[in-house]
Amino acid sequence: MNGFEPQIVAFTCNWCSYAAADLAGTSRIHYPSNVRIIRVMCSGMIDPIYVLRSFEAGFDGVLLAGCHIGDCHYISGNKRAEERTAKLRRLLHILGLEDERLKLEWISAAEGGRFAETIKGYVDQLKQLGPSPFRKEATA
Partner 1 sequence: MAEDKNDVKIGVYVCHCGSNIAGTVDVEQVTASAQERGSVAVARNYKFMCSEPGQALIKQDIEELGLNRVVVAACSPRMHEPTFRRVVEEGGLNPYQLHICNIREQCSWVHKDGATDKAEALISAAISRAYYLEPLESREVPVAPAVLVVGGGIAGIQAALKVADAGRKVYLVEREPSIGGHMSQIDKTFPTLDCSACILTPRMAAVKSHPNIELMTYSEVVDVQGYVGNFKATIRRKPRYVDESLCTGCGICQEKCPWKAESEFDCGLGQRKAIYTPFPQAVPNVPVIDPEHCVYILKDGKCGACLKFCERGAVDFSQTEKIVDVEVGAIIMATGYDLMDPSEIARLGYGKFPNVITSLQFERLCNATGPTGGHIVLNGQEPKSVGIIHCVGSRDRKYHSYCSRVCCMYALKFAHLIKEKIEDASVYQFYIDMRCYGKGFEEFFQREGSEGVTFIRGKPAQVTDLALSEEEQGKLVVVCENTLMGRQLRVPVDMVVLCPAMEARSDARDVARLFNLTQSADGFLQERHAKLEPVATANDGVFVIGCAQGPKDIPDTVAQALAGAAETLSLIDRGSVELQAATATVDETLCQGCGRCEEICVFHAPTLSSDGTMIPVSSINEALCKGCGVCAVTCPTGAISIRHFTRQQILAELEALSGVPV
Partner 2 sequence: MGAQPKTLEGAWTPQAPGHTPSSTDLVGNDFSLCYQCGLCTGSCRTAYAMKYTPRQVMNLLQLGLVKEAVASGAGLLCTACYSCTFRCPRGVAVTDLMAAIQRLSLAEKHADPHIRRWYQAFTDTVARHGRFHEVEFLVRYYAPNPFRLREQVSVGLTLLRKGKITLRPPKMRSQKAIAAMFRKAAQIEGRP
Q: Using CB under 8 A as the criterion, what x/- string covers residues 56-75 for binding partner 1?
A: xxxx----------xx-xxx
Which amino acid would we find at residue 96? G
Q: How far is the CB of 2 from partner 1 (least distance, A)?
A: 18
Least distance from C-beta 127 to partner 1, angstroms?
Answer: 15
Give, as ranges, the residues between 23 and 62 that touch partner 2 (CB under 8 A).
29
Among partner 2, partner 1, none, partner that 126 touches (CB below 5 to 8 angstroms by kind): none
Angle ∠(41,46,50) on CA atoms, nearest 5: 130
| Nearest residue to 111 via CA among 14, 12, 22, 10 | 22
> Nearest 5°: phi and psi at 132?
-65, 140
CB of 3 to partner 1, least distance (A): 13
Measure the CA–CA gap between 54 and 98, rounded to whole angstroms.
15
C-beta of 29 vs 52, nearer to partner 2: 29
| Alpha carbon distances (Å) from 27 to 16, 52, 121 | 16, 33, 19
Task: Identify residues 66-125 at the interface with partner 1 (CB under 8 A).
Answer: 70-71, 73-77, 80, 84, 108-111, 116
Residues 75-114 that bind partner 2 (CB under 8 A): 111, 113-114
